[in-house]
């Protein structure tokens, strides 16, 4: 049984990292410069100490560069993951709105964005007619 629990913990940790990377991407896209841990914490609705701790772990994994007052920068591996998550989010929003005809602002969109593989994302993109923008008018990254 411990192996199963360990896998669940690892999956949750990976999803948490993706949420941070997505938040940093969205802050960057909104023109926030420099991006501070407090910006990410506010967007993610978590405490500043929790954000600081996670950013330190992510820096050790070379997903971000975290220089305190200098701000947070996505490193190449982190940028690639953030780009995929934002792509998945925006494609899923369109899928919910245009195909499934359900609320694209629901929590289900956020949960699903972490499970979509590149193959599934490409199939959704084709199904939707290769959209360029999400329902909010934001560009859908091409990974």
Note the pLDDT tens digit of each residue in 28-58: 999 999 999 999 999 999 999 999 999 999 9
Residues 82 and 119 in one domain: yes
Cβ–Cβ under 8 Å, residues 143 and 124: no
Q: What pTM, to 2 d.p., does this model score?
A: 0.87
Three-state DSSP class for residue 72:
strand
In this structure, of 24-28, 92-96, 104-108, 122-126, the range with the lowest mean pLDDT score is: 104-108
Query: Is residue 70 domain-shared with residue 83, that is, in the same domain?
Result: no
Please write the tens of the pLDDT for every residue from 61-82: 999 999 878 899 999 999 999 9
| 73 secondary structure, DSSP code | E
Percent of the chain with pLDDT over 70: 90
**Is the pLDDT assigned to residue 1 strictly greater than 50?**
no
For residues 46 and 87, state if they share a domain: no
Question: What is the CATH number for 17?
Answer: 1.10.10.10
Indicate the Cα dihedral angle 77, 80, 83, 87, nearest 10°: -130
Domain assignment present for 40: yes
Residue 82 and residue 109 in one domain: yes
* Cβ contact 110:76 at 8 Å: no
**Same domain assignment for residues 52 and 82:** no
Same domain as 82, residue 70: no
pLDDT of residue 13: 55
3-state secondary structure of 117: coil
Is 92 found in the same domain as 65?
no
The token pair that represents 105 in the structure block: 């602002």
What CATH number is attached to the domain comprising 121? 1.10.60
Task: Say which range, 3-17, 61-75, 125-139, has the weakest mean pLDDT.
Answer: 3-17
CA-nearest of 40, 133, 20, 31 to 87 is: 133
Which pLDDT score is estimated for 106? Answer: 87
> Other C-beta atoms within 10 Å of 58: how many?
23
Same domain, 13 and 33: yes
- The residue segments making up the domain with residue 87 are 78-127
């Amino acid at each position: 049984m411990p192996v199963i629990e360990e896998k669940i913990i690892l999956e949750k940790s990976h999803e948490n990292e993706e949420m941070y990377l997505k938040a940093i991407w969205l802050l960057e896209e909104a023109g926030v410069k420099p991006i501070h841990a407090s910006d990410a914490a506010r967007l993610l609705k978590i405490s500043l100490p929790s954000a600081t701790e996670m950013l330190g772990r992510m820096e050790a994994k070379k997903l971000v560069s975290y220089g305190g007052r200098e701000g947070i920068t996505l490193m190449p591996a982190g940028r690639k993951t953030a780009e995929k998550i934002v792509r998945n989010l925006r494609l899923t929003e369109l899928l919910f709105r245009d195909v499934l005809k359900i609320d694209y602002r629901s929590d289900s969109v956020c949960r699903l964005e972490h499970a979509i593989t590149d193959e599934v994302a490409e199939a959704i993109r084709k199904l939707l007619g290769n959209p360029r923008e999400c329902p909010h008018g934001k560009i859908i990254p091409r990974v």
